[in-house]
Amino acid sequence: MRIQLGDTVVTRVEDYQGPGFMPEEMFTNYEPGQWERERDWLVPRFYDPATNQTRTSIHSWLVKTRHHTVLIDACIGNHKERPSIARFHQRNEPWLERLAAAGARPEEVDFVMCTHLHADHVGWNTQRIDGRWVPTFPNARYLFTRAEFERWDDRRPGFVPKPINQHVFADSILPVVESGQMQLMDVGHTVDDALTVEAAHGHTAGHVKIRLASGGAQGMFTGDTIHHPLQLAYPHLQSVFDEGPAEALQTRLDMLADCAERGALLMPTHFADPHCCRIHAQGRYGRVGYRAEWGG
């Protein structure tokens, strides 16, 4: 998938696409039958009724502005110790080859921007070479928000990550710190006047979204502000992975309203094929909801 937005080219780089969680596992307030009301567009792209599993994707977005090559979120990575989720554990996938097919070798990436520091957004920050974890992108500045880095720095006394994020700091963050390639950023940080970091707290304390504005076109890299297309019809569905559910809900509602108003292309990290959409507000089931116009 290659998308032209103004003077900027965006290409999706896949690390995983396939079965995800069951809806009742994924959403704390899921009500049986919600997917059935949306069957005409959810099945089979985004939900498999035979197995009662969502379909999900984990991918990066490669962004080429007029001046720089930027990677937004770094997926799962290879050879990482992630025993709590089998599809993350000790993988060996050709993601680097897919990155090259998308138009960039590791040494050509100028910036890596992470919306947050969960296991499936930072894995390819590093790769294992000769038994050591080293930065995958030798010439890049890795941009982490200050609040997010301080939250996940497991060198702090008493910090205990959830099982899904065990080992993440040591194998995917600390090597970047030690190489001198980390740059802490705050909300409002921009790259090439095209990519702007915006607050999107709730999923984690320092989670951000990234707005693309180029040549009159707009896009929104959502990170985990939204996890699954079912949340378009039901924005109030809450992910079990949100640390601050009330704040995450308000962040999602505000983001969706903003994208609908501006006509911004919604580019989440976890939507299965066709991965991105423009959205239009519509009343659903007595509350706000959205319908999607799929594709770039």
Name the band, by pLDDT with cuts 50, 70 and 90, for residue 292.
very high
Kindly report whether the peptide bond that precedes residue 274 is cis, defined as omega within 30 degrees of 0.
yes
Query: What local confidence, expressed as pLDDT, does residue 252 receive?
Result: 97
Structural contact between residues 117 and 166, judged by C-beta atoms closer than 8 angstroms: no
d(CA 82, CA 253): 32
pLDDT digits (tens, 9 = 90+) for 243-256: 999 999 999 999 99
Quote the pLDDT of residue 150: 87
Residue 61 CA, chain-centre distance (Å), reads 9
The percent of residues above 70 in pLDDT, for the chain, comes to 96
Asked if 55 contacts 272 with a C-beta cutoff of 8 angstroms, the reply is yes
pLDDT in tens, 185-196: 999 999 999 999
d(CA 202, CA 199): 10
Report the pLDDT value the prediction gives residue 62, as an integer from 0 to 100: 98
d(CA 160, CA 214): 41
For 11-37, the pLDDT digits (tens) are 999 999 999 999 999 999 999 889 999
* 74 three-state secondary structure: coil
Q: Binning pLDDT at 50, 70 and 90, where does residue 288 land?
A: confident
10-14, 122-126, 153-157, 245-249: segment of lowest average pLDDT: 153-157
| Proportion of the chain above pLDDT 90, given as a percent | 89
Average pLDDT of the chain to the nearest whole number: 94
User: All domains of the chain, ordered by start, with CATH?
Assistant: 2-294 (3.60.15.10)
Q: Using pLDDT thresholds of 50, 70 and 90, give the confidence band for residue 285.
A: low
pTM: 0.95
Distance CA 18, CA 273 (A): 10
The pLDDT assigned to 156 comes to 62
Q: Tell me what pLDDT residue 157 has.
A: 60
Residues 56-98: tens digit of each pLDDT: 999 999 999 999 999 999 999 999 999 988 999 999 999 999 9
Q: Where residue 171 falls among pLDDT bands split at 50, 70, 90?
A: very high
Q: 78: closest CA among 34, 146, 24, 129?
A: 129
